Structure 1
Amino acid sequence: MAHVAHTVGIKDVARQAGVSIGTVSNVINRPDMVARETRERVQAAITALGYVRSESARQLRAGRSRIIALLVLDMANPFFVDVAAGAERAARKAGLGVMLCNSAQSPAEESDYLSLFAEQQVRGVMITPADLTGGTLARFRPRGIPLVFVDRVLGSAEGCSVSVDDVAGGALAARHLVEQGHEGLVYISGPMFLTQCQDRRTGALRALREAGLPESALRHIETERMDVAAGRDAAARLLGMSPRPTAVFCANDLLALGVFQALYNAGVAVPDDIALVGYDDIEFAAAAAVPLTSVRQPARQMGRTAAEMLIEETGEEAAAHEHRQVVLAPELVVRASTLPGRA
């Protein structure tokens, strides 16, 4: 007969330490209630036996999970890494953990992860939606698990959200290029079904109108993804434009870095031949061969704020919680990629 390994339980720890099951429970959940000598004896028994607390059992007893979920569009983008870092800091401060998942901009992946979150009975979900039709979220909402939207604006009745004013951010980028003497520019974006890409273009058009320039002064290249490879592909297209643009605004820094690589390989100088602006101000922006002008988003603050709102909505004072929409201001960080003679 095959040997079946015995799972160490709280009773085994109590027996080893010579204390009651209640005392072991207090050491695990409320250590301040137990005398130091007893606490150390129980901790020694836990270590010796290799006891691991069953989170699922604890969850059943407590009636709530200690895990909140964060579902982002693209974990390859350092912007979302910073969002996750901010969320994790707030969660850890509240004694919670974060389950981080990546939809890869796919509504199907988003749907699968939301089903997983429901199965795991997570405490709540922070999400940057990939399915802008709202279909996956409509199927998830009846589960009764609170949602907070990250990098997306909601109506007050739908839930909490934290975002950056992307229309203002797009205007900052385009206005700066106009002030540098450019009378037209190319906007390189990811898929235009993404609200962020739409809003940044809207802001750029607003800045051009304010400068007395026609909407035709903004040409547009749309890519399927928002990564470095897509930026290189977009650069090949803009180099074939006639007339060739003198300024480019990219919807994120990864696209901008891809554009920069392709321009460099083609012998086109940034900024003397083409000025270049990115968005997000990820760490790599300042470290590029020609430091990149970029619209900074307070990513860590976004993640922290989203987690704090979710914790509030699922905490002891949940009954008094009111949905709110936090919109943060972007900031233009000017570097050498838009300043001729400074590269």
Structure 2
Amino acid sequence: MTRVGIREVAALAGVAVGTVSHYLNHPDKVSVERAERIRAAIESLGFVPNNAGRQLRLGRSSAIAYVAPDVSNPYFAEIAEAVELRSAERGVSAFIANSHRSREREDAYLRFFEQNQVLGLLVSSHLPIEDRLAHLRRRGTPSVLVGQAAASPDQASISLDDVEGGRLATQHLVDTGCRRIAFVGGPIGIKQVSDRLTGASVVTRGLSGATLEVIDQGDRTIRGGRDVGRQIAARPEAQRPDGIFAANDLLALGILQELVRGGVAVPRDLALIGYDDIEYGEASLIPLSTIRGRHGTFGESTVDLLFDEIEGRTGGERHLAFTPDLVVRESTRGFGA
């Protein structure tokens, strides 16, 4: 089947080829009457604009890209949705890529989006990535590091204060009466995880009689949480923690499932708090206490910050940090009662 071209649209609409071009690229330059004729011709002929030529003329696409490590995780899925909606409001498309926590896939996506000349990149990564983003930036592709603070002043970033988040979570457990606290998360070398552990350590170090056990669980999923939950439920009661701070809500939900299955009463025998405030946590049979880091404007702010980079407005704040909040639900209420 022959592809319909711009000349066929112009002929059917009774306008010049240049007028159709203006309609596609600069609609404000076309009268309402001609625009309606062109629209009707496009619909009648099934014309699909070829953006490749336009991209070559402008030297860039009309899209940005978000590279996430795991879009099956509701945390990243919520960011992706907000990025997509904010991009549409700004008149550009957003590509969402899932690296599956793989360096090879992540690098492949970065190359692909650079070669296709996206306007800019939003990148969430659990791996060291600033050096690679610096190479892209020097070659003309700006970026924002999402979810962690950049070390370089030249790299725009948007992050959460995870040390404060870890402090809030652990202080809440202490305030409910917990003293044998376990931190579950990993790998500990990941900055977001280590920052949350640092915040937890600040609380327990300053409290006589409090202990902090670190359970390094690199599989930060419900499955990984179940593994930890089974191990804790199998311990003699005196050797169990009485409070658990999980590095994310998925881990906490898996832990919760196995504790309940193993006969450990939450929160009477053991208080449990997660991190991220995903929807599944609130909907759990025992609603999950958590730390909320992403406020309503987090996803939108990532796109806005990227456009500051794209448009050269780098005189303002390039490193945005959101302060987390404590969300108290049934998984910690009533501990010891």
The reply to whether TM is greater than 0.5 is yes
Deviation at 1:85, TM superposition (A): 2.1
Partners of 1:255 and 1:142 lie apart in 2 by 39
SS of the counterpart of 2:300?
helix
Partners of 1:75 and 1:122 lie apart in 2 by 20
Deviation at 1:300, TM superposition (A): 4.8
Deviation at 1:49, TM superposition (A): 1.3
Structure with the greater relative contact order (CA < 8 A, sep ≥ 6): 1 or 2? 1
Residue 272 to residue 342, structure 1, CA distance change in 2 (3 Å): closer
1:181 matched residue in structure 2: 177
Partners of 1:135 and 1:8 lie apart in 2 by 45
Deviation at 1:211, TM superposition (A): 2.7
Partners of 1:258 and 1:211 lie apart in 2 by 29
Deviation at 1:323, TM superposition (A): 5.9
Partners of 1:129 and 1:331 lie apart in 2 by 23
Structure 1, unpaired ranges of 5+: none
Residue 112 to residue 320, structure 1, CA distance change in 2 (3 Å): closer
Map 1:1-343 → 2, pairs under 5 A: 5-132=1-128, 134=130, 136-137=132-133, 140-155=136-151, 157-213=153-209, 217-241=211-235, 243-298=239-294, 300-315=296-311, 318=312, 321-322=315-316, 324-340=318-334
Residue 320 to residue 187, structure 1, CA distance change in 2 (3 Å): closer
2:330 corresponds to which letter in structure 1? A
* TM-score scaled by length of structure 1: 0.91
Q: Contact 2:271–2:335 (CA<8 Å) still a contact in 1?
A: no
Q: How many residues align?
A: 335
User: Which 4+ stretches in 1 moved above 3 angstroms?
Assistant: 133-143, 319-323
Structure 2, unpaired ranges of 5+: none
Deviation at 1:26, TM superposition (A): 1.8
Deviation at 1:23, TM superposition (A): 0.9
1:7 corresponds to which letter in structure 2? R
Q: Contact 2:273–2:290 (CA<8 Å) still a contact in 1?
A: yes
Q: Matched residues, percent identical? A: 39
Partners of 2:52 and 2:219 lie apart in 1 by 38
Deviation at 1:86, TM superposition (A): 2.0
Partners of 1:319 and 1:334 lie apart in 2 by 39
* TM-score scaled by length of structure 2: 0.93
Deviation at 1:84, TM superposition (A): 1.4
Q: Contact 2:181–2:244 (CA<8 Å) still a contact in 1?
A: yes
Write the deviation string for residues 43-83 of structure 1: whole angstroms up to 9, x where unpaired: 11111111111122111122221110101121111111111
Write the deviation string for residues 261-282 of structure 1: whole angstroms up to 9, x where unpaired: 1111111111111110010111
Bigger mean CA offset, 68-77 vs 328-337: 68-77
Q: Contact 2:62–2:92 (CA<8 Å) still a contact in 1?
A: yes
Q: Contact 1:86–1:300 (CA<8 Å) still a contact in 2?
A: no
